[in-house]
Structure 1
Amino acid sequence: MKTALIVEDSQTDQNFFSSHLQKAGFSVTAVSTVEEAETKVKANKPDLIILDVILPGQSGFELCRELKSQDETKNIPIIICSTKETNVDKMWGDMLGANAYLVKPVDPDEFVNTAKKFAN
């Protein structure tokens, strides 16, 4: 079974992403901070990471850059899901190595299709 790590501080968004990924056959773990995400990734490398940008403490952009710069995590696909929707934000996500950038509110079908695309 494919595994997904959701890094999202909104409980509503965590529930949305979790339920759609579980319906698509993923085993899901959700955390609220970059620090928790770093611990989970070290302990158990997921097949996919769903990442918010605006998080308490470090930003999702910083975590993305960190994960993509390390040999042991650089190949884990990262889908950024954020309310930050400017072209500059999307460019930053791309420059930092995110595999996809979806703007909230995320379309459920687009979300699941994108997750399946990168988790294979």
Structure 2
Amino acid sequence: MKTVLLVEDSLTETQVITGYLIQAGISVISVSSGEEAKIKLQSQTPDLVILDVILPGQSGFEICRELKTNAITKKIPVVICSTKGTEADKLWGSMLGADAYLPKPVDQQELVKIIQNLT
């Protein structure tokens, strides 16, 4: 079973995305901040990370850059999932190493397709 680390500070978004992933047969580890994500990544290696952009502390963009420049985590696919869906945001995410960019509200089929393509 594939495992996704979901970094999302909105409880509602966490519940919606988790529900979509579980329906697709994907295991979910959810945290609400970059700090929590770093702690989880020390003990577990997910198949993919989904990052919100606007998080307490570090932004999803900053976390993505850290994951992609760290030798241990750089091969883990990262999907940025945000209400900030402009072309500039998508380009910035790509420049920082994100493997995909998914605008909110999340489309269940698109989310599952992206995860299947990246894992």
Q: Structure 1 length as normaliser, TM-score?
A: 0.96
Higher mean alpha-carbon deviation, 19-28 vs 93-102, is at 19-28
Alignment of 1:78-89 (within 5 A): 78-89=78-89
1:110 counterpart letter in structure 2 = E
Q: Secondary structure at the match of 2:109?
A: helix
Q: Secondary structure at the match of 1:74?
A: coil
Q: Secondary structure at the match of 2:79?
A: strand
Deviations 1:22-44 (A, max 9, x none): 11111111000000000011110
Q: Residue 41 in 1 paired to residue 20 in 2?
A: no
In 2, the alpha carbon distance for the partners of 1:23 and 1:116 equals 14
Could you list the runs of 4 or more consecutive aligned residues of structure 1 that deviate by over 3 angstroms after TM superposition? none
Q: How much has 1:65 moved relative to structure 2?
A: 0.1
In 2, the alpha carbon distance for the partners of 1:68 and 1:93 equals 11
In 2, the alpha carbon distance for the partners of 1:6 and 1:17 equals 8
Q: Which runs of 5+ in 2 are unaligned?
A: none
Q: What's 2:23 paired with?
A: 23
In 2, the alpha carbon distance for the partners of 1:32 and 1:46 equals 16
Q: Secondary structure at the match of 1:20?
A: helix
Residues 4 and 27, structure 2, Cα contact 8 Å, conserved in 1: yes
In 2, the alpha carbon distance for the partners of 1:67 and 1:96 equals 10
Alignment of 1:91-110 (within 5 A): 91-110=91-110
State the percentage of identical aligned residues: 57
Q: How much has 1:8 moved relative to structure 2?
A: 0.2
Q: How many residues align?
A: 119
Q: Which runs of 5+ in 1 are unaligned?
A: none
Q: Structure 2 length as normaliser, TM-score?
A: 0.97
